[in-house]
Homo-oligomer: A and B are copies of this chain.
């Protein structure tokens, strides 16, 4: 199913809210989601229509959505349960922080290993993930069936690393650097543009 980006983003946030709800609250209203995210009620209802709406997870008049059913349905719809194995390339500050970011695991993102070219980092273990020499990425990607890399090297090494990853069988790069990567057509890049995100925020576009 083709769900628009912004809807995926909001569905994830509805899930965060559902995950945080007290156990004795069985139902939640669209208004609660709307207020917490500072968006329109109608937007919430529209988003939740992307979730196949049968039985309990359709909102009920005056009662709202069943918390557990809606939560499960979002998980199913967005594939939280299907674990996605990834590598982190660049074991610096940001790479290490992401390796230690336990929420990833909760949402099906499994960091299998890390890579770097710094001999001082190679062989160390960060939150249970070993740091390997970057030269081993192709071999390990093939053996472990990993196609996705999170790129967190310093900007000046980003294009070189991307070339190397593309040549090593990596098909998807989640790019945290401020380098826009020039990659072969069969490699997909998703730019995690933190600068752009902050500028959206400060330019007064508060809805997300």
- List residues of A whose CB falls within 8 A of some B CB: 2-5, 8-13, 16-17, 19-20, 35-38, 78-80, 84, 93-94, 96-97, 100-101, 103-104, 106-107, 109, 148, 155, 172, 174, 178-182, 188-208
Contacts and interface: CB of A to CB of B under 8 A. Distances in A.
Given A197-B190, A203-B8, A206-B188, A13 B104 contact: no
A101 to B, nearest CB: 7
B16 A179 contact: yes
Q: How many copies does the complex hold?
A: 2
B4 A182 contact: no
B79 A36 contact: no
A93 B84 contact: no
Given A178-B103, A188-B206, A201-B190, A195 B109 contact: yes
B12 A199 contact: yes
6 contacts: A5-B208, A10-B196, A11-B196, A36-B182, A104-B198, A148-B202
A16 B101 CA distance: 27
Contacts of A190: 197-198, 200-201, 206, 208
Contacts of A12: 193, 195-196, 199
A16 B178 contact: yes
B196 A4 contact: no
Chain B CB within 10 Å, residue with most, of A100, A178, A181, A199: A199
Given A13-B196, A16-B179, A84 B5 contact: no
A194 B196 contact: no
Given A78-B203, A84-B202, A103-B178, A196 B109 contact: no
